[in-house]
Structures are given as C-alpha cells and as structure tokens.
Amino acid sequence: MRKFILLAALLMAVTPTACASSPQVETGAWIVRDQLADPANIAPLCEEIESSGVDTAVVQIRGRADAYYDTSLAPRAEEIVSPPPYDPYRAFLDACSSERHIAWLNVYYLWGDMEPPASPEHPVNSSPEWHLTDRDGRPVSEYTLLDRAMGWIEGVYADPSSPGYRAYFVSLAREVVEKYPVNGLHLDFIRYPGPAYGQGGLLGASWFNRYGFDARYLPATFGEVDIEGWLAGEMSPAISFITTAKLLWAGMRAENVTALLRDVRSAIGEAGRDVEISAAVVPDAPAAFLEKGQDWRVWMKEGLVDAIYPMSYYGSSERVGGQLEKIRGEARALAPNVKLWAGLGAYIKEPSQIAEEAKIARGLGYDGICLFDCGSVRGVKGGFGGYIREIKGDKKSLPEGGASFLIDSEGYDPLELAAVKAFAGDALPEGWQRSVEARRLEFDSVVEKVIPSLISKMSEEAGPSMEWEELAGVFRYLHPLDPPERDEEQLALIEEAREKLLAGVEMEKVAPEYSQGGTKTFGGVLPRRYLRSGEDIDRILEETPEGGVTEPLRVSNGYWIYKVMKKGGGDVVPYDKVEWPERRIRFLTELSAALKGAGVELSSKDAEGSNAKSN
C-alpha cells in the first residue's frame, strides 16, 4: 500500500477550457433514511429519482447505529413502519433499477435523541465501553440537552480509539457489500465531533503512557495553529510546548480514524467485492485534521478511498467555490484517480444558487455533484427534479495541475507529518524539518525534566481558584473565504442583537433569533469561563459588570457578544476538586513560570489565545 502524504502542493494556475468532447458531470443525491421507513413511499420516491435523471443514489441505511436493511448485527430502526419481512433497502433496490447504488453508513454517530434506543442490543445500551468521552473524561452518552448545546455535539458518538467498536463496524460494512448488489459504500460521520473529545478516554490513556502527563491538560480547543511561527521559534517556550503537544495529539486522533478506514478497505477486499469506497468529508483539510481527526488527504494518497464528497453546504457561492477550488488542487496533486464529488446544500439553498455552485464545480472539473438531500426538496416548488436540472452540464477538461513534493511517511517522525497536515499554506519554509526536530527535542526535554515535578507541585498545592464568569452569548459565524459583504452582514446582526439586549430583551429571546451554533438554544448559555491574564477577551469580560453586555468581539471565525451573568472565584479549593478547564489554565501558567525559572525568557505571545467557541 502506498503511504505518502502531501508535503506542499505548488499548484500551477489552470484556466478551465471547454472541450467539445467533455463528458457530462455525474449527478447524485443523498437519500436520508426516513425516506425508506414507509414502504408506501418507495415507489413514488424511485419514480421521482428516475424522472429527475439522477445518476447515483447514495442511500442511508445506517443512521444512528440502527439498520434500514436486513441484518442481525444491528437493531432494526424504530422508525420503520412495517415489520419484517419488509427490508427497506432491498425494497429500494428492487424499485430503483436505473441508478448506481451507494450504501451510506454513518460511522461514529450512534444516537441523537435524549431517550435511549428501545433495543437492548443497540450500542448505546449494550456497549458503554465504546462511548466517546469528553475532555473531562465524561461519556457523551450522559450528556443532557444543555451539555450537548454547550459541547457543540449532536448526540452520542462511538470512540474512534475503541478497538472493539472498530471491529464491529468493519463487520457491518463487510456484511452490507456481501448481502446487497451495491456499487459502493459511502462513509459519513467518519470523524470526531470536535477537538474537545477523546482526551479523557482510551486515547488519553495512551497519551499518558507515551508522554507521562494527562492529555486533559492540553487546550480544550485548537483554533488555528501558527505552524510558521512555531517552526521559526517565535513562540514562548510554554506556547511552543503546547503547540507541539497539540500537533502530536491531533496525529494520534487522526490515526485512529484512519485505522478504521484501512480495516474497512481490507475487509471488503477479502470479501472479493469490487465496490467503490467513498467518504463525506469536511472541506477544509487542515481543520478536518486538527478538529475532527479526519485526515482525508492521506486517505486519498494511500488509496483508502475511491471518491470523496466534500460537504460544501454553507455560505455564499464565493465560499463554496473557494473550498472546491482548494480541494481540487490538493486532490489532483495527491491522487488524480480519486473521484471528486461536490456536495452541495440543496436543503438550505434555492435552485438558482445551487446552479451557480454547480457551474463552479463543473468548471473545476469535478466528476460529480451530489445534493443534500433528496427528501428535503421533494415537496418544494420544482421538486427534486428542478434541482437536478439546474446542476446538469458538461464537465470541463482540465490539465492535471500541480507540481508537488511528496515524502514517504514511513520513517518520518509523527510530528513532521502532523505539521504538514496542519499547515494551511502552499509551501512550508525552507529547512522546516530541522525546525521540527528542534521543537521535538525541546518538547522531549520539557516532558522529561520539567513536567513530572510541575504536576507534582500543582497536585500538592491548595490555593485560591481563578476568577470565573458565567456567560451567555450570541455568535455569528464567518469563514475565511466569505466575501466582505458577509462580514458586514454578520457584524450588523450581532450589533442588532446587542442593541436588543441593552434595551432589556431577555437573552432567552435574543439567542434563538440571532445566534448560530450551540448558543442558539438554552438562552445562549455557555460553559463557565475562567479568566486568563493577558487575554484580550478575558480583560474585556473582567471589565464588564454582572448583567453587562460586551461590544461585538471579532474572533478567528466570527463575532461574539457576551452577557455576564455571574462572577466568582477566589475560594481556596483542593487541587483534586479543581475543574479541568481551570487546571488547563493553571498548567500553562505554571509551565510558563517553570520554564522562566529555568532561564528561558517569555515573550508577549505567552497566552493560549482566544478560541472561537469560548473555553
């Protein structure tokens, strides 16, 4: 198996040129499982799909660790209205005969409802040892709705580091391709839910065995990693250490997800089935690696996937087009034979905007365009066929772009590989590998000479707790590829929300109307925030009185306004009673002091930095 990764793609600019013999772009549809629940819906669904001209039907048969197909390995989905022998997927395959059929399975997402599944055989009930834990070691299966909102997580996930779950899922995938005449297997939710998960579980234990300190001391969220600043030695020793740890941790998480995919590929090969393996992926490759453990560039290079479907659902056509262009350049340099499917968000956009985005995808030479999702647009004006008609057209013939430098991952330090994958630019600076080696030596030295005594000192001391605030917030998201007018629009909305709060409107009414993401619910409530010295946002929060509302605050991915609900701190608390968010900040502070005591001067950059989702 080829094991290469992209070091840096020095991509040549290519201009799309029409060609008389250009093939027509393929069209596809994600078909969510609810469309299969009622047998009476199958025939009209297939008639609409076939009349619309869909080439590939990506049909969800595993949504929440349950089955919309015949199997003894997973519980039958509770939403299926007819008892056996009704087999939803078999019924669909029998009725829809003209499309390519791709079986769509969610990988790690197990359950979304608050009530547990009825079946005792469902992994939520039967296998708690498979459940993902958060950064504090709490299983996400114990979360309340409020916990989910504050944790920006959809529901219960399986832990990618669980070997038992990995083996179980591989057996499911193999059974599907052996039992049904599918053309492919499509994997979704093949990722962590976010950066703040896994530190307290099996992988956290592995980290401790390797490096001798608890992974829960690492920052709760990643944010953007300044690889060039880290390589150049421009960070303070403490922040440089934390950045090294972040990269190593991200590499360990991603390797667990990739291991599952390798096992799926191997099992299907052993089954003797020649089926396409594809994955739905986060469009931004560095963010996918750092935040989600989804290393899709390596998947492509190793030949673990035959196609990727970047989920470019959100935002303006400029954002979607920018994502698709970046992906096209990287993918063609890495693995020209891997198919590219532009995943577009028909469920939240008008046909005219989807048509504009589809035109961009065709111009970039994408092999296919897949719409999410069929069921959401069946009843709107023009129906699903209206959307499909908008995305059809000729695919452009483009020269294969991109001189690239490749290295064989065998024999290279994991830190080098993580630095490459986290880097968002086109070319790392000259001599970058020597710099990585220097950072690694520094990290190893601190782990050996400083960390043991530091942890011992911290755990023996009782002291006053840090100042903290209970906050509620409104958040408006921005992507780096959004046009300036989008920035203006989001700022105007956040200012409008602030004016309402200042006028006395309750946060419980403002947050649902104006906020995006986890703060849209539960009155915008956020986890307790411990205030860090030298942090600009925390300085502003400290100056804001209880009941006060901050000015709009620009962060890396949008705007926040905060309402300070309560202030506290200063009580003497034994270390074993200190919450992990505070321990993380204390760890960084004490590490900075310890390194300074060792004769290493600190710079003004010695702060963990703000993160887009609050701590």
What does the CA dihedral 433, 602, 608, 228 come to, rounded to 10 degrees? -30
| pLDDT value of residue 605 | 37
Pairwise pLDDT comparison (220 vs 234), residue with the higher score: 234
More confident residue, 363 or 19: 363
Beta bridge partners of 5: 407
Mean pLDDT of 131-153: 93
| Residue 343 host element (H or E) | strand 339-344
- Residue 481: both structure tokens together: 């590829």
**In one letter, which amino acid is 196?**
A
- On the 0-12 / 13-18 / 19+ scale of CB atoms within 10 A, 397 is middle
Residues 6+ away with beta carbon under 8 Å from 42: 36, 88, 91, 92, 95
Give the pLDDT confidence of 303-323 residue by residue, as tens digits: 999 999 999 999 999 999 999
pLDDT value for 5: 38
Provide the CA 247 distance to its chain's centre, in angstroms. 16
Helices (H), 428-535: 432-449, 451-460, 484-502, 507-514
User: CA torsion sign, 82 to 88 to 90 to 91?
Assistant: positive
The residue type of 458 is: M
Give tens-digit pLDDT for 557-599: 999 999 999 999 999 888 888 988 899 999 998 999 999 876 6
- Which residue type, as a one-letter code, is found at position 46? C
**CA angle at residue 180 from 176 to 184, to 5 degrees?**
70
Measured CA to CA, the distance from residue 348 to residue 360 in angstroms comes to: 18
* Structure letter (DSSP) for residue 425: S
Q: How many CA atoms lie within 13 A of 452 on its CB side?
A: 6
Contact predicate 241/446, CB 8 Å = yes
Run of H or E residues at 526: none
- If you ran DSSP here, which 8-state letter would residue 378 be given? T
Residues contacting residue 475 through CB under 8 Å, at least 6 positions apart: 515, 516, 517, 519, 558, 559, 560, 613
Contact predicate 163/153, CB 8 Å: no
Strands 468-477, 558-568: pairing kind: antiparallel
pLDDT the model gives residue 405: 44
pLDDT digits (tens, 9 = 90+) for 235-277: 999 999 999 999 999 999 999 999 999 999 999 999 998 899 9
In three-state secondary structure terms, 275 is: coil
Class of domain 467-569: alpha beta
Task: Decide if pLDDT at 600 tops 90.
Answer: no
- 587, 217 contact by CB (below 8 A): yes
Is the bond leading into 85 cis (omega within 30 degrees of zero)?
A: yes
Tell me the pLDDT tens digit for each residue of 527-541. 999 998 888 999 999
In 3-state terms, what secondary structure has residue 76?
Answer: strand
The token duo for 78 is 């509770």
Tell me how far apart the alpha carbons of residues 439 and 93 are, in angstroms, rounded to a whole number: 55
d(CA 187, CA 279): 5
Per-residue model confidence (pLDDT) at position 222: 64
Alpha-carbon torsion, ordered 129, 132, 136, 138, to 10 deg? -50
- pLDDT interval class at 6 (50, 70, 90): very low
pLDDT, the chain, mean: 89
Supply the pLDDT for residue 410. Answer: 62
Half-sphere exposure of residue 310: CA atoms within 13 angstroms, side-chain side: 30
Query: What pLDDT, on the 0 to 100 scale, is given for residue 560?
Result: 97
Contact 125, 152 (CB under 8 A): no
From-to residues of CATH 3.10.50.40 in the chain? 467-569
Tens digits of residue pLDDT in 175-206: 999 999 999 999 999 999 999 899 989 999 99
Integer angstrom CA distances of residue 559 from 243, 475, 552: 25, 6, 6
Classify residue 367 as left (phi > 0), alpha (psi -120 to 50) or beta.
alpha
Token couple for 67? 């089955």
Residue 235 in contact with residue 226, Cβ under 8 Å?
yes
Give 408's pLDDT tier (boundaries 50, 70, 90): low
Residue 2 backbone class (left: φ over 0; alpha: ψ -120 to 50; beta: rest): beta
Q: Do residues 54 and 383 touch, judged by C-beta distance below 8 A? A: no
Name the CATH superfamily for 22-233+243-402.
Answer: Glycosidases (3.20.20.80)
Q: Which of 21-25, 52-56, 258-262 has the lowest mean pLDDT?
A: 21-25
Do residues 276 and 173 lie in contact, with contact meaning Cβ atoms separated by under 8 Å? no
Please give the C-alpha separations between residue 151 and each of 197, 231, 599, in angstroms, as whole numbers. 9, 31, 39
Residue 62 · residue 187 · CB < 8 Å? no
Q: Where in the chain is the domain with CATH 3.20.20.80?
A: 22-233+243-402
More confident residue, 413 or 452: 452
Question: Are the C-beta atoms of 135 and 196 separated by less than 8 Å?
Answer: yes
CA 61 centroid distance within chain: 22
- Cα(301)–Cα(294) distance, rounded to whole angstroms? 14
Report pTM: 0.91
- Whether residue 450 has pLDDT greater than 90: yes
